[in-house]
Amino acid sequence: MRSSGQIDQGGAEGVPTGSPAAADPVADPREADFQALIDADQRIEPRDWMPDGYRKTLIRQIAQHAHSEIIGMQPEGNWITRAPSLRRKAILMAKVQDEAGHGLYLYCAAETLGVDRAELIDLLHQGRQKYSSIFNYPTLTWADVGAIGWLVDGAAITNQIPLCRCSFGPYARAMVRVCKEESFHQRQGFESLYTLSHGSPEQHEMAQDAVNRWWWPSIEMLGPPDTDSTHSAQSTAWGIKRFSNDALRQRFVDMVAPQAVVLGLTPPDPELRWNEQRGHYDFGEPDFEELRRVVGGDGPCNRQRAAHHLKAHEDGAWVREASAAYAAKHAATTAAA
Amino acid sequence: MSEETPAPLWEVFIRSKRGLSHNHVGSLHAPDAEMALRNARDVYTRRMEGVSIWVVPSAVITASSPDEKDSFFDPAADKPYRHPTFYSIPKEVQQL
C-alpha cells in the first residue's frame, strides 16, 4: 500500500485545510460530545455531527490516500507485460488490482463525508489534490518492482497500521481491509528482491541499484520532520493521527534495516547503524528539500503520472456512457413490462 | 471537467459463508444492479471473502438519525427486566 505521511500533513503541500486556526471561534455545543466520543476511543460515524475542520481534514487526507492508490498502479503496471515469468506476472497483476481495490475502498470512505468521487477525481486532474510523492519516481528495471514491494509498501504499512484505529469509522474500516491485503504486497517484493540478490552477479547488482534509488524516497514518504509538521497537533487531538512522522520513520527504519542484511543488500546510508543505547537504528538525515520539490510537482514523473491518469479517464468515457445508456434502456424495458 | 452524471451509488452486503447473515462492507458506483454486482465481486471478494452478495441503491436506504438517538432508543433503556440477569435465582438451582 500506499499512503504517505506527507499527504497526511496538509501543510506540506500548502493545501488549505480546516485547521484549528480556521475553526469557528464560537464553539458549537455539540463539539464537546464529539470530542468526548473521540477521547473515549469511540468511532465517529458519517451521520454524526462533526466539526467542519474534522470533515475537511478527513476528506483531504482520504482523497489523497485514494489518489495515491490509483496513481500507484502506474509505476508497477509499467512492468506487467515484461515480468520475467508467468508466476511473477500473475502476482504483479494481483497486486496492481489490489491497489485499484484499495483506491475504491478509500473513495467509498471519503464519499460518506458528503463528497462525490467524481469531484475528487476532478480535483486530482486540476492538481488541487495530491498523491504520495513516491509514485513520481520511475521504475527503471524489473528489480524496482521488488524494491517497491519491500520498501514503499513497507513504509505504507508502517503509516497505515495506526490508521486502522483512526477515529473516523469508515476510514478505519477501509484501512483494516487494506492492511490485510498489503502484507502480501510487501512479502512478494521481499521475495522477488531476495531471489535477484542471490542470483547472478548482474541480478544482484540490479537489486542493489533498485535499493539505492528507492531507499531514501521511501524514508521521505513518511512525511516532513515533526518540526515542520503543521497539522499534527489537531489531527492527534481528533484521533486521526496516532504517531508523529518521525516516530513512524524510526519504526520503518528499525523494521527494514535488519531485513536488508538478510537480503544481502546495502542501504545507501553510511550513517545507518544500530544504537544500543537508544534501542533503535540511527540513520542519516533524509533530503526533505527533495521531498518538498517532488510533492510540489517537480519530481521525475509528476507530469507523466497526471497526464496518464487523465488520459485513461477520458479514454474510458465511452464505456461509462455506453453502460449508462444500457442501464437507462434496460430500466425503461423493465418498467414497461 | 467531467460533465457526465456519475453512476449511482450502491451499498454492498456480503455473506462471508453459509450460515452467516450478509454484512455491510462498503459502497461503489455502477450504472445498474447487474454491473454493481460484478463490480462488488471485483472490489470486495478478491480473496474468497463471500459466497453471496447483495447490492442496494444507497438512495433507498432509510436510516435513523444520530441526532435523536437518545430519544429514539430510549424505550429500551429503562427495561432491565428484559435481561436474564435481572432475576435472582436461589443458589440450589444449578441451571436455569
Residue range B32-89, pLDDT digits in tens: 999 999 999 999 999 999 999 999 999 999 998 877 767 888 888 889 999 999 999 9
Would residue B1 count as lying in a domain? Answer: no
Would residue B4 count as lying in a domain? Answer: no
pLDDT at residue B1 greater than cutoff 70: no
Contact B1 A108 (CB under 8 A): no
Q: What per-residue confidence (pLDDT) applies to A273?
A: 97
Instruction: Mention every residue, 6+ apart, whose C-beta is less than 8 A from residue A5.
Output: A159, A221, A222, A223, A224, A245, A248, A249
**Of A50, A20, A17, A10, nearest to A169 (Cα)?**
A50
Cell output for A295: 510533492
Put simply, whether A111 touches B (Cβ < 8 Å) is yes
Q: What per-residue confidence (pLDDT) applies to A306?
A: 95
Would residue A58 be called left, alpha or beta, if left means φ above 0 and alpha means ψ between -120 and 50 degrees? Answer: alpha
Would residue B92 count as lying in a domain? Answer: no
Best B2, B24, B70 member to test A by mutation, with max A CBs in 10 Å, is B2
Nearest chain A alpha carbon to B45: A101
Report chain B residues whose CB lies below 8 A from the CB of A45.
Answer: 66
Instruction: Mention every residue, 6+ apart, whose C-beta is less than 8 A from residue B32.
Output: A323, A326, A327, A330, A331
Q: What per-residue confidence (pLDDT) applies to A85?
A: 97
Report chain A residues whose CB lies below 8 A from the CB of B26.
Answer: 105, 108-109, 170, 173-174
- pLDDT tens sequence across A101-152: 999 999 999 999 999 999 999 999 999 999 999 999 999 999 999 999 999 9
Cell output for B81: 427486566
Of B2, B6, B35, the CB nearest to A323: B35
The count of domains in chain B is 1
For residues B3-19, give the mean pLDDT.
91
Q: What per-residue confidence (pLDDT) applies to B5?
A: 82
Put simply, whether B67 touches A (Cβ < 8 Å) is yes
Gap between the Cα atoms of A54 and A50, Å rounded:
7
Put simply, whether B38 touches A (Cβ < 8 Å) is no
**Of A23, A11, A92, nearest to A238 (Cα)?**
A23
Q: What per-residue confidence (pLDDT) applies to A185?
A: 95
Distance between first and last Cα of chain B = 68
Domain of B70, CATH number, reads 3.10.20.520
The structure's pTM equals 0.89
Report chain B residues whose CB lies below 8 A from the CB of A173.
Answer: 26
**Of A153, A229, A247, nearest to A191 (Cα)?**
A153
Would residue B94 count as lying in a domain? Answer: no
Nearest chain A alpha carbon to B42: A101
Cell output for A279: 534501542
The answer to whether A116 and A148 have CB atoms below 8 angstroms apart is: no
Q: Which domain covers residue B19, as residue numbers?
A: 9-86
Would residue B96 count as lying in a domain? Answer: no
Of A111, A125, A173, the CB nearest to B1: A125
Of chain A residues 154-213, which have a CB less than 8 A from chain B? Answer: 170, 173-174, 181
**Of A4, A23, A2, nearest to A233 (Cα)?**
A23
Gap between the Cα atoms of A12 and B13, Å rounded:
38
Gap between the Cα atoms of A16 and A22, Å rounded:
9
Put simply, whether A52 touches B (Cβ < 8 Å) is no
Put simply, whether B5 touches A (Cβ < 8 Å) is yes
Radius of gyration of chain B (CA): 22
pLDDT in tens, chain A (337 residues): 444 443 333 333 333 344 444 445 567 888 999 999 999 999 999 999 999 999 999 999 999 999 999 999 999 999 999 999 999 999 999 999 999 999 999 999 999 999 999 999 999 999 999 999 999 999 999 999 999 999 999 999 999 999 999 999 999 999 999 999 998 999 999 999 999 999 999 999 999 999 999 999 999 999 999 988 777 789 999 999 999 999 999 999 999 999 999 999 999 999 999 999 999 999 999 999 999 999 989 999 999 999 999 999 999 999 999 999 999 998 888 877 7
Write down the H helix ranges in A139-200: 143-147, 153-160, 169-197
Would residue B93 count as lying in a domain? Answer: no
Would residue B42 count as lying in a domain? Answer: yes
Would residue B3 count as lying in a domain? Answer: no
